[in-house]
Structure 1
């Protein structure tokens, strides 16, 4: 018999609760697929986590720093500026537009501010 770690149990428990919730609620397959696609990327999940943590608007550079910190586990002073720039650019060009289109975040391009919407 194979034993499971605590994190494996957490995943199993989460999936079971999710499946129970889906049985009770009328969620379309398309909506579920779209939600999983949005959450499939770690950087998008981290950006959502950052916005939930702060619960207020942040500049995109500040949000990128926070995402880089969570990705690397280092303080911002120990992360190369190029890494933070790469995170910023990927958020700006790829991840942020997807989350804005989904209605999870708002973005003011003129002021370069990200704000929580539905989170």
Structure 2
């Protein structure tokens, strides 16, 4: 799947829309910076999107599979086990801890279960 690259005007429109929304938001500059930091990585955004879509607990392997599907635009049957494993490892070691620390997700390591927290 090839995505159409964003145009400069797309980016400008998005930034202006975000700025319009920030004007009505009562968040401090450090809070806004932290939020943008969390959202700066596509894989974190996709994991949050997956958890919002399902709205319930998922095993981390299932969440990783769904993130891989959304990253590639392919059916899960067309994605290698190695690719899904790579997504799982990066979620487990990098992205999930950041989102848990931020209070957006919860993680039960014993059951390898990810749950929406603030996404409810």
Instruction: Give the alignment's TM-score, normalised by structure 2.
Output: 0.86
Give the paired residue count. Answer: 115
Equivalent position of 2:3 in the other structure: none
| Cα distance in 1 for residues equivalent to 2:54 and 2:80 | 24
Partner of 1:109: 109
Question: Could you report, residue by residue, the CA deviation over 1:29-69 in whole angstroms, capped at 9, with x for unpaired residues?
Answer: 11111100100000000000000000000000000000000
Q: 1:7 to 1:55 in 2, by over 3 A?
A: farther
Residue correspondence of structure 1 range 6-45 to structure 2 within 5 A: 11-45=11-45
Structure 2 gaps of 5+ residues are 1-5
Structure 1 residues not aligned, in runs of 5+ = 1-5
> Alpha-carbon deviation of 1:9?
6.2
Could you tell me how far 1:22 is from its partner in structure 2? 2.3
Corresponding residue of 2:65: 65
- In structure 2, C-alpha distance between the alignment counterparts of 1:14 and 1:34, rounded to whole Å: 19
Q: CA RMSD of the aligned region, Å?
A: 1.9
**How far apart, CA to CA, are the structure 2 residues paired with 1:103 and 1:9?**
34
TM-score, normalisation: structure 1: 0.87
